């Protein structure tokens, strides 16, 4: 279990860092130019590392794979579209707090339904309380105030991605 959590923490730290970098790109250009660049480089890096790690294995499984696998990547486009609209309408602070809450709510749902081949984790009161406390933490962090220079544009823009 420890390793799983360490992997998740690594992912999160990198997401935080990537958001900063993406915002820097976004300051100079539009949302879709940024998104295209980010996904293009993400593909190139995954493909490159995959070739080194798995060699021909990168291609052998492709022909037989289920059709929806090809379209799964469109979810990322949905993320960007909804995120941009949410931030525009709610402001970055509230939008991000709600996005994170929603992420956790759906995580609980997916775990308890055991969807898409996930190992089913039975829903318990314990879990609900845990998630509610985490959500409380997110709102205190985001809405608690105290962070200075909130009004600066670059900060607002970046908050949008965090």
Partner 1 sequence: MRGLLFAFLAGAFITLQGVANTRISADIGTWPAAAVTQFTGFVAALLIWVFVRDGGLRDLRQVRPLYISGGALAAIIIFTNVTAIQQVGVTLTISAVLIAQLCMTFLIDSLGWFGVPKQKMRLPQFIGIGLMIAGVVILKF
The DSSP code for 149 is T
Q: Rounded to an integer, what distance in angstroms lies between the CA atom of residue 52 and that of residue 13?
A: 24
CB of 44 to partner 1, least distance (A): 7
Q: Does 156 interact with partner 1 (rule: CB under 8 A)? A: no
Q: Does 122 bind partner 1 (CB under 8 A)?
A: no
CA 142 to chain CA centroid, Å, is: 17
Helix (H, G, I), strand (E, B) or coil at 140: helix
Q: Which residues in 23-62 contact partner 1 (CB under 8 A)?
A: 24-25, 28-50, 53-54, 57-58, 61-62
Q: Is 160 in the site for partner 1 (CB under 8 A)?
A: no
Alpha-carbon span 162 to 141, nearest angstrom: 12
Q: Taking the complex as a whole, how short is the minimal distance between the CB of residue 1 and partner 1, in angstroms?
A: 6
Q: Does 22 bind partner 1 (CB under 8 A)?
A: yes
Least distance in angstroms from the C-beta of 110 to partner 1 = 5
- Residue 135: CB minimum distance to partner 1, A: 8
Give the start-end residues of each E strand in 55-105.
Answer: none
Return the residues of window 70-89 that contact partner 1 according to CB under 8 A. 70-80, 82-83, 85-86, 88-89
d(CA 39, CA 52): 20
**How far, in Å, CA of 74 to CA of 46, rounded?**
17
Tokens of 122: 């039975």
118 binding partner 1? (CB under 8 A): yes
Q: Taking the complex as a whole, how short is the minimal distance between the CB of residue 22 and partner 1, in angstroms?
A: 6
């Amino acid at each position: 279990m420890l390793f799983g959590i360490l992997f998740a923490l690594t992912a999160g730290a990198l997401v935080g860092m990537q958001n900063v970098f993406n915002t820097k790109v976004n300051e100079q250009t539009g949302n879709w130019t940024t998104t295209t660049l980010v996904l293009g480089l993400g593909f190139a890096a995954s493909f490159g590392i995959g070739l080194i790690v798995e060699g021909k294995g990168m291609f052998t499984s492709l022909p037989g794979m289920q059709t929806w696998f090809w379209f799964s990547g469109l979810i990322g486009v949905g993320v960007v579209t909804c995120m941009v609209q949410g931030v525009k309408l709610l402001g970055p602070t509230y939008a991000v707090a709600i996005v994170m809450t929603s992420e956790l709510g759906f995580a609980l749902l997916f775990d308890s339904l055991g969807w898409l081949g996930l190992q089913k984790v039975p829903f318990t009161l314990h879990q609900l309380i845990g998630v509610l406390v985490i959500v409380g933490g997110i709102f205190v962090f985001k809405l608690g105030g105290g962070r200075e220079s909130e009004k600066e544009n670059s900060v607002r823009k970046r908050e949008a991605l965090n």
